[in-house]
Structure 1
Amino acid sequence: MSSSLPGPVALALGCIVAAFVVSFACVRAAIAYAHRKGMLDAPGQRRSHSLPTPRGGGIGIVIGVLVGMPAALLLLPGSPGVGVVGAFAVGVIAIAAIGWLDDHGSLPIKPRLAIQLAATLLFCVTVASQTASLWWAAPLVLAGVWCINLHNFMDGIDGIAALQAIFFGAATGVLAVSAGAFGIGIAAVCLDLTALAFWYFNRSPARIFMGDVGSATVGFIVFALTAMLWAWRTDLLWPELILSSAFVIDATLTLLVRMLRGARWYTPHREHLYQWLVRRGNAHTRVAAGYLVWNLVICVPGAWIALRHPAVAPACCGAAYLLGAAVWRTGKRSCLRRRERHVSA
């Protein structure tokens, strides 16, 4: 008697493997393409690398995601529905396309923001239509556009954005499957494996950077997975927010501080905590590993408690963000003190 894997398991494995292989191959091709087209990020005052490095490698993540995630979301148990999956795919393509153009030559902020808003609005209206009120689309759009841009802001040193995507995809996959949303869980694992394929080339010293095509699209995917799980079961929002806390805290607090100081907050800078840590002499690998430690030591236990005990989930999420804000402030002050000692010496 011949034995075979059950259909859903075989399909899930197929989606995961295909996403990884396609992503790996496309990132390798993107390195040669970027050199040929002159898509190189040169070192500078507002950059954290020391050698010209090709950008746009995130196209591998995008293509791998498009190969694996829609199939998993549509065909596996716990599907969010054809409308949501279609809006998700359109959003990924639109945001990746404008990011790809920006990687070839810097675009004005207005057309980029317009595409991000349009793509996020389409997805959010589709998701909100499955809830009690379409009014949920309004806060979802704000959250979605911010998630897109904060991931762009946090993609500034070797490996950090890829490691965050790897962690988020793996943790969300476990969370979704445990909550009965098997299709969403496998889709999250597809993100995990595409980011892993990219990280192989992006780990320090990076052979290629993610570029806007990758960082902005990954931000949209992270938001989309969170929104789909929230629509599946509202209490899953809290563990998902905990899993994203490292990037949300650093990007949000940095933006708020710059706005309060009257700085041109929308211009490139090196004021995030991870950038300060690199400027103070820490290696890219060490800094990225520090964010991963936060994820494993704080986010995993916090998300598990929030999942198992929904009544305390909001408090658990709040505690994680308060602790993260304290760590952020302590890290920033430590970096500033070290700079002052260096200048005075």
Structure 2
Amino acid sequence: MINAHLITEYFWLVFPVVISLSLVLTGALRVYALKNSLIDVPNGRSSHSVPTPRGGGVAIVVCFLLILPVLALTGIVSWSNALGLIGAGAWIAVIGFLDDHGHIAARWRLLAHFIGAIWALFWIGGLAPVSVFGVTIDLGWVGHVIAAFYLVWMLNLYNFMDGIDGIAGVEAVTACFGACLIYWIGGFESLVWAPLLLAAAVLGFLCWNFPPARIFMGDAGSGFLGIILGIFSLQASSTAPQLLWVWLILLGVFIVDATFTLLRRLMRGDKVYEAHRSHAYQFASRSAGRHLPVTVGVLIINLLWLLPIALGVGVWGVDGMLGLLIAYVPLILLAVRYRAGELEKAN
């Protein structure tokens, strides 16, 4: 077996290699998309105005799934965690890739999403006991059901939130780097490597997707990121309960905007499976007239607001639920300010 210490010592050299591989592969996928007319053409529900190739997220999928088994072979990542990530991630990416090439009915996509979530939960052991205001609660089988719905929601909300240039990539990179920083400071170094690998894969893609985007992620990439980030949070919680709250805080921009928008549309009686552009970030980008200010705004919120709170929970002992409430209240106010879930004609 390859020496695990040697791999961790030289992983910082692997990191730029993964970024470069993702960068080159994304460029190749852009050529493929142009040749095969895999183009997002703007319509009344689009947030972009220029026809743009899609499917670049496949580069993230390939780079992550290519290197993760190496980490498992060395013992840096456990095989149970790796198999949960590989199986669920690959399955969701394939479903997204097929949907990118030809529409799959919503009910079949949803069924496939639950299959992926159940696979992941089988390998990682389901939902670990949760700490709420200092009380540790073991939800048993109910918790595993909740965890399945959580993973399905995470992958779908990531799809919903991947609507303007760079936003999904920035969210993934900042969440992964933030979690790695907390793991490193908090003494959970063994958890660092998989999120760091994902961040490297996303950075290469982001070079092509940052505003103005030259290729979009597509459902294969967005769904993959959503379920992988969700699995990361559940895996971490089995090591230390507070780490689940850390991930929920770090991903707060996406969770709050998508959930607030969904609830508002449900209350209005909308068909929530239909495409729309009523998320807060979409209203904000139309108000700004371009995507860059909104994407940079998300970056700033993640680094200057959510990361310090997550550090408080993960390292300095702040209660997780309290930290979540502190983190989410301003995000909810922003969602209200930018009319999340309202009909577009109200703008």
Q: Taking structure 1 as the reference length, what is the TM-score of the superposition?
A: 0.90
In the alignment, what sits opposite 2:135? none
Using the alignment, how far apart are the partners of 1:110 and 1:337 within structure 2?
27
RMSD: 2.3
2:97 aligned to which of 96, 100, 103: 100
In the alignment, what sits opposite 2:54? 55
In the alignment, what sits opposite 1:128? 125
SS in 2 for 1:209: coil
Aligned residues of 1:34 and 1:54 also touching (Cα < 8 A): yes
Aligned residues of 2:249 and 2:306 also touching (Cα < 8 A): yes
1:227 aligned to which of 217, 223, 234: 234
Using the alignment, how far apart are the partners of 2:225 and 2:127 within structure 1?
24
Once the two structures are superposed, the pairs formed by residues 126-205 of structure 1 within 5 Å of their partners are: 126-128=123-125, 131=128, 135=141, 136-205=143-212
Runs of 4+ in 1 over 4 A off after TM superposition: 129-134, 335-340
Using the alignment, how far apart are the partners of 1:296 and 1:73 within structure 2?
30
Using the alignment, how far apart are the partners of 1:19 and 1:95 within structure 2?
21
Q: Deviations over 1:2-49 (max 9, x none)?
A: xxx951433523542343232112111100110111100001100011
- Say if 2:47 is the partner of 1:38: no
Using the alignment, how far apart are the partners of 1:167 and 1:317 within structure 2?
17
Aligned residues of 1:18 and 1:68 also touching (Cα < 8 A): no
In the alignment, what sits opposite 1:215? 222
* Cα distance, 1:201 vs structure 2: 0.5
* Cα distance, 1:233 vs structure 2: 1.1
Aligned residues of 2:60 and 2:205 also touching (Cα < 8 A): yes
2:258 aligned to which of 247, 251, 257: 251
* Cα distance, 1:112 vs structure 2: 1.7
In the alignment, what sits opposite 1:343? none
Aligned residues of 2:56 and 2:221 also touching (Cα < 8 A): yes
Structure 1 stretch displaced more, 247-256 or 225-234? 225-234
* Cα distance, 1:140 vs structure 2: 1.1
Q: Deviations over 1:57-109 (max 9, x none)?
A: 000000111123343355355x3x31221121011110111111111112111
- Say if 2:328 is the partner of 1:321: yes
**Structure 2: runs of 5+ lacking an equivalent:** 130-137
Aligned residues of 2:127 and 2:144 also touching (Cα < 8 A): no
Using the alignment, how far apart are the partners of 1:231 and 1:14 within structure 2?
29
Aligned residues of 1:229 and 1:237 also touching (Cα < 8 A): yes
Aligned residues of 2:312 and 2:318 also touching (Cα < 8 A): no
2:300 aligned to which of 281, 293, 299: 293
* Higher helix residue share: 1
Q: Identity across aligned pairs (percent)?
A: 30
Using the alignment, how far apart are the partners of 1:324 and 1:216 within structure 2?
23
Amino acid in the other structure paired with 2:275: P
- The number of residue pairs the alignment matches comes to 333
Amino acid in the other structure paired with 1:41: D
Aligned residues of 1:15 and 1:68 also touching (Cα < 8 A): no
* Cα distance, 1:130 vs structure 2: 8.9
